[in-house]
A = this chain, B = another copy of it.
Amino acid sequence: MIRTALTDLLGIDAPLVGFNRSPAVVAEVSKAGGLGVLAVSAYSPAELDAQLTWIEEQVQGSPYGVDLLVPGNTTAGDPSDLLASLRAQIPDQHREFIAGLLRRYDIPEEASAEGRVMSEFAANLDPSRVAPLLDVVFSHRIALFANALGVPPPEVVARARSAGVVVASLVGKPEHARRQLDTGVDVLVAQGTEAGGHTGTIASTVLTPEIVDLAGDVPVLAAGGIATGRQMAAALALGAAGVWCGSVWLSSHEDITPEVVKRKFLAATSSDTLRSTTRTGKPARQLRSSWHDEWERAGSPEPLPMPLQPLLVGEAWDRIDAAASAGHAKAAELESFFIGQVVGGFTELRPAGEIARSLVADCEKQIEVLAGLRH
């Protein structure tokens, strides 16, 4: 057993947070003594309600959390029909680029309704669509609410506080952390550049202790570069009160990412990721594929800012995912998803619970090895 400020705060057995968009992964991490956190930005309210209910049945009282991208109110557009007014801001050049790309790769027209994950994610960038998601989230007995990007709105922090829910926020540089601490978050997640998804340029070895020193009594979780017990022990050595792992679960059986993408992950090396704005409009680490080559080609447009870029590419990605999963070779070339540099260590798909348990057990062993170096 490893005891830290995080395990005390959340009443969990191991300082391991498992972030994933697959309810079964979240349940397995919580059942293994860590804290599963569901990424809920790509769910409709009804789906989300059903999934959180399912997770609660699985974990039988063990704590779990959710992660939601709560957009700020700065989005420029007509609030009466925000998505339409945002879509109208997408330049023709960009629409034609995407249409041409899908044509050249011969990607079929329609994705199945259940495959519309990235379109749903894009639609949820409308703040008016987030309110019902928040209502669902706070109607469940979540232990932690994480804000995926930027500073959580004060009303969300207040709502969490009154519900006894711990608020966590992701930061990629010290300035972010200062702003987050001012809003009263309970936990900071220091996300190093090696992480999958939205990430900055500072590596975990440097970022984690910087944020720890700034945060005072606020527990800091290290994120980015953590998929094994050695890496977990290193994060604790850097002063973190625990780890926030995302990418590692994409090597689990339970993860809902298309098999074709998971197979690409198993074949990838640690050099095969890049930070790119081509999916969300903000720099996010992902597996390099032909998709990125196409955007980098001379004459291709510059990616748009968030939220325009996900509105531009959301449907395209659902079509690519559907086609690739149906065995379409050129769609498979384009396939990619958010993943950190730890992808280079993926050798096989494993049960999520086994991944969680071995992370913690190997971390404990490594702490013992380290203690043995002293004479």
Contacts of A200 in B (CB 8 A): 271
Q: How far is the CB of A200 from chain B (nearest CB, A)?
A: 8
Q: A104 an interface residue at 8 Å Cβ cutoff?
A: no
Q: A206 an interface residue at 8 Å Cβ cutoff?
A: yes
Interface string of A110-125 (1 = CB under 8 A from B): 0000000000000000
Contact at B231–A270, with CB atoms within 8 Å?
no
Which residues of A, 267-323, contact B by the 8 Å Cβ criterion? 269-271
Q: Which residue of B lies closest to A343 (CB)?
A: B206
Which residues of A, 107-140, contact B by the 8 Å Cβ criterion? none
Contacts of A270 in B (CB 8 A): 173-174, 202, 206-207, 210
Which of B3, B173, B226, B341 contacts A375, CB < 8 Å? B3
Contact at B202–A366, with CB atoms within 8 Å?
no
Interface string of A205-238 (1 = CB under 8 A from B): 1110110000000000000111010110111111
Contact at B236–A373, with CB atoms within 8 Å?
yes
Q: Contacts A371-B370, A375-B2 hold; do A224 and B203 have CB atoms under 8 A apart?
A: yes
How many residues on A have C-beta within 8 angstroms of the other chain's C-beta atoms? 49
Q: Which residue of B lies closest to A225 (CB)?
A: B205
Q: A204 an interface residue at 8 Å Cβ cutoff?
A: yes
* Cα separation A204 to B237 with both chains bound (whole Å): 14
Q: Contacts A174-B269, A237-B230, A373-B367 hold; do A341 and B202 have CB atoms under 8 A apart?
A: yes
Contacts of A173 in B (CB 8 A): 269-271
Which residues of A, 28-75, contact B by the 8 Å Cβ criterion? none
Q: A201 an interface residue at 8 Å Cβ cutoff?
A: yes
Which of B1, B206, B236 contacts A225, CB < 8 Å? B206
* Cα separation A30 to B65 with both chains bound (whole Å): 50
Q: A342 an interface residue at 8 Å Cβ cutoff?
A: yes
Which residues of A, 327-375, contact B by the 8 Å Cβ criterion? 340-342, 344-345, 364, 366-368, 370-371, 373-375
Contact at A237–B370, with CB atoms within 8 Å?
yes
Contacts of A271 in B (CB 8 A): 173, 200-202
Q: How far is the CB of A1 from chain B (nearest CB, A)?
A: 5
Contact at A203–B194, with CB atoms within 8 Å?
yes
Q: A193 an interface residue at 8 Å Cβ cutoff?
A: yes
Which of B206, B236, B342, B374 contacts A206, CB < 8 Å? B342
Contact at B230–A203, with CB atoms within 8 Å?
no
Tally of this chain's copies:
2
Contact at A371–B373, with CB atoms within 8 Å?
no
Which of B1, B205, B375 contacts A204, CB < 8 Å? B205
* Cα separation A154 to B371 with both chains bound (whole Å): 38
Which of B207, B236, B341, B345 contacts A370, CB < 8 Å? B236
Q: A258 an interface residue at 8 Å Cβ cutoff?
A: no
Q: A239 an interface residue at 8 Å Cβ cutoff?
A: yes
Q: A23 an interface residue at 8 Å Cβ cutoff?
A: no
Q: A18 an interface residue at 8 Å Cβ cutoff?
A: no
Contact at B210–A344, with CB atoms within 8 Å?
yes
* Cα separation A345 to B202 with both chains bound (whole Å): 13
- 22 A-B residue pairs with Cβ-Cβ distance under 8 Å, sorted by A, are A2-B373, A3-B373, A3-B374, A173-B270, A174-B270, A174-B344, A192-B203, A193-B193, A193-B203, A194-B202, A194-B205, A203-B205, A206-B270, A206-B340, A207-B270, A209-B345, A230-B239, A234-B234, A236-B237, A364-B374, A367-B370, A367-B371
Which residues on A are within 8 Å of B, measured CB to CB? 1-4, 173-174, 192-194, 200-207, 209-210, 224-226, 228, 230-231, 233-239, 269-271, 340-342, 344-345, 364, 366-368, 370-371, 373-375
